[in-house]
Amino acid sequence: MATTKVSPKLFIDKRRQQVLFAEADKKFVDFLFSIFTLPVGAVMSLLKEGGGTVGCLPSLYQSIEDMSVTHIKPDKSKRFLLEPKVMLCPKVPLLLPNIGSTFRQLYRCSNSNKYNTCINYVTDEDSTICPYCELKMNRIVTFIDPPSTIRESSTTKDGYVKGTVIYMVMDNLEVKPLSTTTLVSLFAKFNVMNIGDIEEKVVDVGMDEGVKLLEASLRSKTVLTDVFLPVENIKTEDSIDTTERYPAE
Ligand SMILES: [Zn+2]
């Protein structure tokens, strides 16, 4: 899996220094949707260094890290919980570190052709001992996607959403196809009178931004603004009234 360049275009309300929405293609939307395929352990593992999580999950995660292996069952590993393997949809942009390297691989023992019972066992941990013949399970098994009734080209099979549409990602990560009607009501909601009040800015989203987007999505309703227009970067001479930045719904 290779890193894909993802470059949504932000539409920024210059007066409030707030991202109104991002115009995005399929790649950015596929990345956002893929957040739901991540096990909580993988999310915690990605965010623990920045301390970017709320609630009790960090202390629960730390408890597992700190627990002596003498208290863990001998057939289990703490890695199963702390670094769970991820089953990603093919060709979703790789915008989170260490996720691709933990792509789930399945294994069987080499007796799977010989004994019917061995065929019943499959593992995602290389060299686990087969419960029937007690050989190492290190023969790679190929996962086959369910057959589709639609003949797909290689590009339409990738990711989750169709690539023929331009999408609109709101500051709170609401995603919808871009339409003039939505744009008009959005500008009305934010009291944008003049198109000159809007700044367009294309941003590159790499792994740093991927982790920041994931982190902000867990705590904020203004994710794009938080990640791409952090408050410390706003010049003081702009004298932004922060109560005006996020108007009440
Ligand atoms: Zn076996």
Task: Return the amino acid letter for 134.
Answer: E
CA 172 to ligand 1 centroid distance, Å: 50
CA 111 to ligand 1 centroid distance, Å: 5
Closest CA to 140 of 127, 152, 153: 127
Round the average pLDDT of the chain to a whole number and report it: 82
CA 137 to ligand 1 centroid distance, Å: 7
Q: What is the pLDDT of residue 78?
A: 87
Angle at 243 between CA 239 and CA 244, to 5 degrees: 70
Q: H or E element: which one contains 228?
A: helix 223-228
CB count within 10 Å of CB 81 equals 19
Q: How far is CA 74 from CA 41, 128, 246, in A?
A: 20, 12, 52
CA 77 to ligand 1 centroid distance, Å: 21
CA 104 to ligand 1 centroid distance, Å: 20
* Mean pLDDT of the region 203-221: 92
Q: What is the pLDDT of residue 64?
A: 93
CA 76 to ligand 1 centroid distance, Å: 19
pLDDT band at 240 (very low <50, low <70, confident <90, very high): very low
pLDDT band at 245 (very low <50, low <70, confident <90, very high): low
Q: Write out pLDDT tens, residues 58-94.
A: 889 899 999 999 998 887 888 888 888 776 666 677 7
240 or 163, which is more confident? 163
Query: Would you tell me the crossing angle of helices 40-47 and 207-217 to the nearest 10 degrees?
Result: 120
Please check the confidence at residue 209 and state whether its pLDDT lies above 90: yes
CA 132 to ligand 1 centroid distance, Å: 5
The strand pairing partners of 4, in sequence order, are none
CA 127 to ligand 1 centroid distance, Å: 11
CA 80 to ligand 1 centroid distance, Å: 22
Closest CA to 86 of 119, 53, 46: 46
Token duo for residue 244: 């005006």
Token duo for residue 24: 């995005």
Closest CA to 28 of 185, 227, 194, 195: 227
Q: What is the pLDDT of residue 87?
A: 67
pLDDT band at 96 (very low <50, low <70, confident <90, very high): confident
Q: What is the pLDDT of residue 170?
A: 95
Q: What is the pLDDT of residue 51?
A: 61
Q: Write out pLDDT tens, residues 133-192.
A: 999 999 998 877 666 555 555 455 678 898 889 999 999 999 999 988 888 888 888 888
Q: Which residues neighbour 88 within 8 Å (Cβ) at sequence distance 6 or greater?
A: 1, 34, 37, 99, 100, 103
CA 126 to ligand 1 centroid distance, Å: 13
